[in-house]
Amino acid sequence: MTPRTDYHVHPDYSIDAAPVQIRDYCQTAVELGLTEICFTTHIELDPVRGALDNFVMCNGERLSVFNHAWLDRYFQEIAQAQQEFQAHLKIKAGIEVGYNRGCEQHVAELTSAYPFDFVLGAIHSLDHIAISSRRESPRYFRNHTLAELQQEYFTTLAEMVASGLFDCIAHVDLYRRYGLKHYGPEILTIHHGALEPIFADMARRGMGLEVNTSNRRVGLKDFHPTREILTLAARAGIKIFTVGSDAHSLNQLGAHIDEALALLKDLNLRHHVFTLRQAAPC
């Protein structure tokens, strides 16, 4: 049977997640029959957005992401859970970094100071505005043409990949989640010609691509990315794929994972797990 994994889970350290602790996610993962989960606490490092989102929650307190005290507790909590659930569930320590130009040195320091299993890179903001936010994104869309969005998104993505700091790219077509309503269906084709060379670079570097199921929660049918984009990734030579629910609360854990696994299987692609940043096929 295919191992059922969820490689994108936000425990209570992420500022926009429900106050659900690592242990509670693990308990639920066992009940759901998942075999492995990876916690991916979310950090944003853009100093321009400092007052908005350069924080993590730690023991009920808001801490600056630049204060690494939270990581000691995070790794300790994960180690405790690994011990408690070792007979039933593999538990990995990951992080989701919202990439911005200029964050590279901090990410390099962070990931060399702590034994992460999995470092997930994501683009949540362009021009210092969160395009991942229903509330904030219209401000970006109103002030940028689709050509500008295309240019800025894919340039940023190419830089994030070329930084060599990330194991895998999260929800690579997230721009269409809220952008579709503003720009119309034309947004569904802006990756043509732009994404292929980036995928080729990811393949050369042995990087992974995530299938993120969270779109279902906002009423969209496709996962991030679409089947068409997954096909492009495979054609470019990407071999490493992960599946993640992007759970921000307990009831979202493992949601639609089986469908994502079936999609990968249908495309003859394999989902992977990571240990100390080394990928292995399931």
Binding residues for Zn ion, per CB under 5 A?
96, 122, 170, 246
| For Zn ion, the closer CB: 46 or 246 | 246
Shortest reach from residue 53's CB to Zn ion, in Å: 12
| For Zn ion, the closer CB: 170 or 269 | 170
| For Zn ion, the closer CB: 88 or 216 | 216
| For Zn ion, the closer CB: 170 or 234 | 170
Token pair 């950090």 in the structure block, residue: 43
CB neighbours of 142 closer than 8 A, spacing ≥ 6? 182
25 vs 8: CA distance, rounded Å: 12
46 vs 43: CA distance, rounded Å: 10
Shortest reach from residue 174's CB to Zn ion, in Å: 7
Shortest reach from residue 14's CB to Zn ion, in Å: 7
Shortest reach from residue 86's CB to Zn ion, in Å: 26
201 vs 234: CA distance, rounded Å: 13
Could you tell me which of 231, 224, 100 has the C-alpha nearest to residue 155? 100
| For Zn ion, the closer CB: 28 or 88 | 28
| For Zn ion, the closer CB: 122 or 203 | 122
| Beta strand residue intervals within 99-178, DSSP E | 118-122, 125-126, 129-130, 168-169
Shortest reach from residue 49's CB to Zn ion, in Å: 15
Token pair 């070329």 in the structure block, residue: 162
Shortest reach from residue 82's CB to Zn ion, in Å: 21
Could you tell me which of 63, 49, 66, 54 has the C-alpha nearest to residue 105? 66
Cβ-defined contacts of 136-143 (< 8 Å, 24+) = 137/178, 137/179, 137/182, 138/178, 138/182, 141/178, 141/179, 141/182, 141/183, 142/182
